[in-house]
Structure 1
Amino acid sequence: MKVVCTSGVFSRRSAAGVAAAGLVLTLTACGTNSGSGGKVEGIGLVSAVDLTICTQLPYKPFVYKDGGKVVGFDADLLSLLAKDLGVEPKFLSIEWSQITSGGAFAAKKCDIGTGAMTITEERKRAIRISDPYMDATQVLFVKKSSGYRSLADLTGKKVGVQSGTTGQKYANSQAKKYGFTTVVFEDLALLTNNVKSGRVDAGINDNGVLYNFTKNNPDTAVVDEFRTGEQYGFGADRKGANGAKLLAKLNAVLAKAKSDGDYDRLYKKWFGVDRGE
């Protein structure tokens, strides 16, 4: 696949200074510098040799680090897109709100955003979102010995949620009705570890990640599902035509994966069951 290199300007920020103004680098070189922007099949990419993917790690089994490599269901699906474009997938872990607000795309940090992202009207106003690729719902997660089985059991208790997620939104909508207090954590690992340690009494998040967590942590359990009717999509820049072109390519790759069996193979690989079970 021929890659045409172009010059570009973008802002690079350290993890310690996300909110602060970053060092601006002007890129004009082409070739081995993976920071140089480029075009593949008329689609502009942040890097001439990579598909740059923003996410917030960890969100197992969708995206997480195994050794020095980012793996997971979402990672594998986007690797199919990278292969189709003739480039390599490159993952960047950033704050989730930077992806869902569109800030990461406006700053030219990445081409695609992922992390089991629920499609919502609010997010569609901020970013472009691909066709749905998976259904999901919210669930209640507890220590198995707690005795809690529903939100009705959590009056006066603390329920952990992940910042910027639909789980946080759902928990907030139920807090007054059931009399619990929400406690916000920046990522999934902090949420699950605080439930395990008993610092919070329960947690609410997506079914895929929490069922996965309980498999390796038998002292925890998913005790209720809320049937929120969610679907996941991948995000891209909303401004201009480039994000639309990239997602059109991605939608075609996803459709092909579902028709040729790749999607079902990856689903079984990461969730341990056939799709639809």
Structure 2
Amino acid sequence: MNPETTAAKPLSPWLALVVGNSRLHWGLFADNQWLGGWHTDHLSAAQMQALASANFAAHRWERLELGLPSPIMQAGGLEGRSPLPLWAAAVVPSVLDQLVFYPHLHRVDLGQVPLSGLYPTLGIDRALAVLGAGKTYGWPSLVIDCGTALTYTAADQGGLVGGAIAPGLGLQLKTLNTFTDQLPKVLVDPEQLPHRWALATPDAMASGVIYTLLAGVRDFIADWQQHYPGGQVVLTGGDGAAIATYLAQQKSPLSTHLIQDDNLAFWGLRACRQQTL
């Protein structure tokens, strides 16, 4: 007798959006399966409406020259499926106001994040990132987001411990250039620490910013591990890879157990979606 076969239930695709201070972060899921992500600058109202009116079809992204999610759509067999439900969270809420007409928009705010102790002005990106870290790597978790701002966000057993905010690597260098007459614009090598004792102004700026930033990161990690031995430490954000590399080059023992994951906020957004289904 032939064994009975049951047709696999088709996966339900959905689009994720995390609106940051300086960029938009997009992701595509099929149910709980991650298919991939991409990033764009903030979009005008006209661009956002053009995408939404085309149900975020891949050809519309190409036409607007906003990056190419087509390979991600095609890899998931989702090319042409529409309209996709859109789950979105925003540090800048006005961006989502451009999508109020979209029929399948699910806005996620702090009240929907299943963590206790969240305070009203906590950035939704920080809440989602630490939720994603805890759900993925276990509690307690400390998330160090190395983006425009350098943020530390810690949670234990689903409750917020607290955190801190400082200027990020790029912002510190930009500030020196912008608010002084003689200091130049500096780009750092993300794969190599600068010489600490510099003999030129650009190198001195890189040294001063990077080594003091790393000292702060090490101090926060050391304090975290003192209070939460065995707790997770997860780096994320645009400069996360560079910070992890620098710490490794310093041969810091704190760097040996660091996790790097650029998609923590998406994992948090997925967790918020799961609790509503």
Larger Rg: 2
TM-score (norm 2): 0.29
Q: Comparing both structures, which one devotes a greater share of its residues to strand?
A: 1
Asked which structure has the greater RCO (Cα within 8 Å, sep 6+), the reply is: 1
TM-score (norm 1): 0.29
